Structure 1
Amino acid sequence: MSPLTPNIMNARVAIASFAAASAGLSIALISLSKLFLMIAVVVVWLWSTQKFAENVSLKNLWTPRLILVILAVFAGSLLWTTAPQDQAMEAIGKYGKFLVIPALLLLIRCRQEALLVLAIFLGFQVISLLSSWLLFFHLPVVWASGKHAKELFAVFATYLDQSIMSAVVAALFWHLKSLAPNRTLFYLAIAMSLLALGSVFVVFVGRTGQLVGLAMISLAVFWALPRRFRLAAVAVPPLIALLAYGVGAIPQRFLTAESEASAFLEKPAAVTSTGVRLYFWKSSIEAMAQNPLTGSGAGSWTTEYNRVERSKNHNFEALKAASNPHQEFFLWGVQLGVVGILLLLAFLGAVMKDFLKMDTAIARAGQSVLAALVVSCLFNSSLYDAHIGSFFCISLGVLLAFGNHGGTTPKQ
């Protein structure tokens, strides 16, 4: 064994831990952690290709393979994209965050390392969670860098992103509590889960986060029921929604969405949060109809949206900067057509398949993250977004690494 190998191992775990800690923090730290991850993978791979290959077992996982296929298709779409070169490259760069998942799988070699990285990930989520509650009670949080931290209580991200992250964290603590080494930590995990869930419905006003929270509760109830009663779980989401409807600002937020949707039906150009989404989705479907099979290429959503709208109104004020339809499936459909939507569904299916092979606690935690991602993508371009997209990729990478490397010992 080379005398430098232990140092490389320590640096490898430290960089994976830094990436786990950065989830949900500032964009600068997230970007720096991703850069370190990519450098670490290259360095470790070049240092000892044979030992690296021996220590890493990815042959049974579908997720890394789908990620490589997805990035290859996005890169290949540069051949036919209608977007300006800078917007096309920016889009590919945004989906480059997918590489975080295989990078974490490659750098984390055993259960002990995975447990350390997972603990660091959850520990920093607790810091963000407690900081949001402090802001909610108007107590000073000097490290809060969110644009509207004092008004909307989001420490580093937007209130929308942090409400979704809090819902995910609630599910993680709930399903991973069985990994706690003692009863104190077991009950502490339950407390953190309830505190995170409370922040979704009391502290934050993000409607998508509240929908994700309802999905997390529904899944937890579904799995808690005996198998013979699980069919009755279909009644759980509406019942929980009715209970949650009387909490905080939830009724007003959803009544606002209803009124905004009604305003859109009367005047499609109505400028409201819901109205803008519906208008973008309508235009996305029209753009997809023009290139249904392979789409218009990476980064083409803004170009195609402007083209569709200009064909209906020559005085239309075009979007100048790269934008998105606030819906991940439509975004992939415009860029890569039916192929893109199928690729996104295949990615979700691959992650699900990989988690189903793992122990119950990690499988349920991972499936909860995946469900949260699906709900979030229905109302936002979550994988495209730098902040929440990175959070989801890091979460999935850490959980897959823990499940994949559980019970193994690193070779020296």
Structure 2
Amino acid sequence: MMQSLRAIPATILPKNTINIRLAIVCLASASIGLSMALISIAKLLLVLFGFAALLFLRRTPATDKPLAGLYTPIAVLTVLFAFAISMLWTVAPTADAWGSIAKYGKLILIVLMMLLIHDRREAMYALGAFLLAQVFLLASSWMLFFHLPVPWATSNMALKEYAVFSSYLDQGIMAAVLGAVCWHLRELAPGRFGRHVAVFIAVAASLNVLFVLGGRSGHVVAIALLSLAIMWQLPRKYRAGIVLLPFVLVLLLFFSSTKVRERLTMVKTEVESYVAQTQIRTSSGIRLGLWVSAAQIIGEHPVAGAGIGSWSTEYNRIQRAKNPAHQDIPGNGNPHQEYLQWGVQLGIPGLLLLAGLMLSVLRDSLKMETPYARAAQSALAALAVACLFNSIIYDALIGDFFCVLIGLLLALGLSKATGPVIAAPQREQPT
């Protein structure tokens, strides 16, 4: 059975040819995490071709209803409708409202990836493009760490923080997800040494997050994904230990990783300073202040929120009431926490909508074979954890990363193989 599973790519990849639709899907998969210019071009092409496919392309009976019976597309469209209808009561300037609509519009990428990928052969091509780009990004970060020349690195954090195109926050989260995807899909890697290469990439990505990059969000995401991976390898009777496992990993990393120890110590110091009001202009202090203001806004608008794009307007209003000399923050800002961001704009229903979107992805992933399901659930878990500390979906690049990847993994796991269907082996240990 293990040999059969490894043979999947060899049996489905050579068939047919790559057409313009699949080329655009592969471009979108490869672009995420690279330069914003490339991401923007790929997104535009994906959106244009996606809507063209809906309107003009002839569909076969097998692809006539590609999204039938799935919860994620319904959840995405419901979320976008809720944000759009909130323009009727938003307190934000029109420019801010439309700007936020555009930012959340990236959620449609999830649906478009599921719509444009017709079978598992195409999904494997797209996954290959994603992995090649992410491995290039990972290798570039390691090269920066070893002080090798990386002339394509454009980040202002390249030399000191080893981020290639964006920030160490984004790159840390992406590397953690890359490691999880390679680990859970390692049996699908083609070639005699494919499985070993996949495991090597998973280990290299995890080490890069925990020992090279300094992003605290990346550290937390990596610890969460490692905990999930270990839990899934354990017999069922030991899985309750998942509650303690993250704390054990944090303790081990505290004494083994200088990066993790420094960042954890910094969080402790910054939080203590914020509580004592001796120093609030720190990374943690600023976040805590923003979260308090966001909670206040939700309390004032619990039923429908203050409307799309309202965070900056409402935050400035609250701060001016406390201090007339307050310097307004620019429009289209965010409280560095996705859950609170949705609560500010849509009230308590917004929090439920975000939870419903994530639960829809989870529910659809439960229909997949084990390796695909675990890869998709790991990406979803990474998103859920990262949203605790940043406005991940709202932000550019990292939001595109998750939308394209989740759509790709759902398409991969839910699509039919072009050859014989091969069930993934169940790796459960006897109870």
Normalization by structure 2: what TM-score? 0.91
Query: In structure 2, which of residues 317, 338, 341 is the aligned counterpart of residue 307 of structure 1?
Result: 317
Query: Residues 100 and 309 of structure 2 are in contact (CA less than 8 Å); yes or no, is this contact kept in structure 1?
Result: yes
Whole-angstrom distance in 1 between the partners of 2:223 and 2:330: 37
CA contact (8 A) 1:269 1:279 kept: no
- Alignment counterpart, residue 27 of structure 1, candidates 36, 43, 46: 36
Higher helix residue share = 1
- For 1:353, the equivalent position in structure 2 comes to 363
Aligned partner of 1:3 in structure 2 is: none
Task: Give the paired residue count.
Answer: 403
Matched, 1:17 2:26: yes
Distance of 2:31 and 2:289 partners within structure 1: 34
The alignment partner of 2:134 has SS state of: helix
**2:215 matched to which residue of 1?**
206
Distance 1:94 1:175 in 2: 30
Stretches of structure 2 that go unaligned for 5 or more consecutive residues are 1-15, 420-431
Residue pair 1:269, 1:275 contacting (<8 A) in 2 also: yes
Alignment map for 1:34-113 (pairs within 5 Å)? 34-48=43-57, 50-51=59-60, 54-113=63-122
Whole-angstrom CA distance in 2 between matches of 1:168 and 1:300:
31
Q: Are residues 74 and 383 of structure 1, via their aligned partners in 2, closer, same or farther at CA, if it must alter by over 3 Å?
A: same
Tell me which residue corresponds to 1:253.
263
Deviation at 1:50, TM superposition (A): 4.9
Instruction: Encode CA deviations 1:268-310: one digit per residue, 9 max, x unaligned.
Output: 8710000000000000011111111110000000001111111
Check if 1:344 corresponds to 2:354. Answer: yes
Cα distance, 1:26 vs structure 2: 1.0
The question of whether the paired residues in 2 share the 8 Å contact of 1:78 and 1:298 is answered with yes
Gapped regions of structure 1 (runs ≥ 5):
1-5
C-alpha deviation, 1:75, in angstroms: 0.5
Q: Could you tell which deviates more after superposition, 279-288 or 141-150? A: 141-150
SS at match of 2:153: coil
Aligned residue type for 2:286: V
**Partner secondary structure for residue 397 of structure 2:** helix
Residue 175 (structure 1) aligned with residue 158 (structure 2): no
Which residue is equivalent to 1:388?
Answer: 398
- Which residue of 1 is the match for residue 331 of structure 2? 321
Deviation at 1:311, TM superposition (A): 1.7
Q: Deviations over 1:202-232 (max 9, x none)?
A: 1100011000010011000100001111112
Displaced runs of 4 or more, over 6 A: none
DSSP-derived class of the 1:386 partner: coil
- Paired AA for residue 126 in structure 1: V
- Which amino acid in 2 is paired with 1:318? D
Q: Map Cα deviations across residues 89-125 of structure 1 (whole Å, 9 max, x no partner).
A: 0101000110111111111101110111011101110
Which has the larger displacement, 36-45 or 198-207? 36-45
TM-superposed deviation, 1:253: 1.1
Give the aligned residue type for 2:81: A
Per-residue deviation, 1:321:
3.5
Range with greater deviation from structure 2 (323-332 or 141-150): 141-150
Judged with a 3 Å threshold, the aligned counterparts in structure 2 of structure 1 residues 285 and 53 are, in CA distance, closer, same or farther, namely farther
Two-structure CA RMSD over aligned residues (Å): 1.6
How far residue 54 of structure 1 moved from its aligned partner, in angstroms, is 3.6
- Which residue of structure 1 lines up, in the alignment, with residue 277 of structure 2? 267
1:395/1:50 Cα in 2 relative to 1: closer, same or farther (>3 Å)?
A: closer
The whole-number CA distance in structure 2 between the counterparts of 1:122 and 1:96 is 25
Deviation string, structure 1 residues 241-292 (Cα, Å, up to 9, x no partner) = 1111121221121111111111111118710000000000000011111111
Distance 1:59 1:268, change over 3 A: farther
1:151 Cα deviation from its structure 2 partner: 1.5
Q: What secondary structure sits across from 1:249 in the alignment?
A: helix
Task: Give 1:208-287 correspondences, 5 Å limit.
Answer: 208-246=217-255, 247-267=257-277, 270-287=280-297
Distance 1:302 1:232 in 2: 42
- Aligned pair partner of 1:364 in 374, 379, 399: 374
Whole-Å Cα distance in 1 between the matches of residues 64 and 280 of structure 2? 56
